[in-house]
């Protein structure tokens, strides 16, 4: 199980971003009726916004 998880994690890091994965998951859930449109917007804004802030801080730390 650990090897499978490591493989999936490595694959996800290389080929997709977490932001895209969250957006895709929220979109699928919205299209299948598990989320309302306002839930989809909230999830997208919160995750993408916070992940963007984390990315900025990481870049600033690497630059110094």
DSSP states along 37-64: HHHHHHHHHHHHHHHHHHHHHHHHHHH-
For 48, the domain range is 17-63
Using CA atoms, how far residue 37 sits from 1, 20, 23, 50, 58, in Å, is 35, 17, 13, 20, 31
Is 29 part of a structural domain of the chain? yes
Using CA atoms, how far residue 27 sits from 6, 13, 14, in Å, is 26, 20, 22
Tell whether pTM > 0.75.
Answer: no
Task: Provide the pLDDT for residue 12.
Answer: 64
Is 52 part of a structural domain of the chain? yes
Tens digits of residue pLDDT in 24-37: 888 898 999 998 88
Task: Provide the pLDDT for residue 32.
Answer: 93
Is 5 part of a structural domain of the chain? no
Q: What is the tally of structural domains in the chain?
A: 1
Tens digits of residue pLDDT in 5-63: 777 777 666 666 777 777 888 889 899 999 888 888 888 888 878 878 888 888 888 88
Is 11 part of a structural domain of the chain? no
Structure-token pair, residue 28: 């699928």
């Amino acid at each position: 199980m650990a090897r499978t998880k490591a493989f999936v994690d490595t694959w996800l890091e290389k080929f997709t971003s977490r932001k895209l994965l969250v957006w895709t998951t929220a979109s699928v859930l919205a299209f299948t009726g598990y989320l309302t449109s306002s839930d989809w917007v909230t999830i997208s804004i919160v995750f993408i916004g916070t992940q963007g802030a984390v990315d900025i801080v990481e870049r600033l730390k690497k630059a110094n």
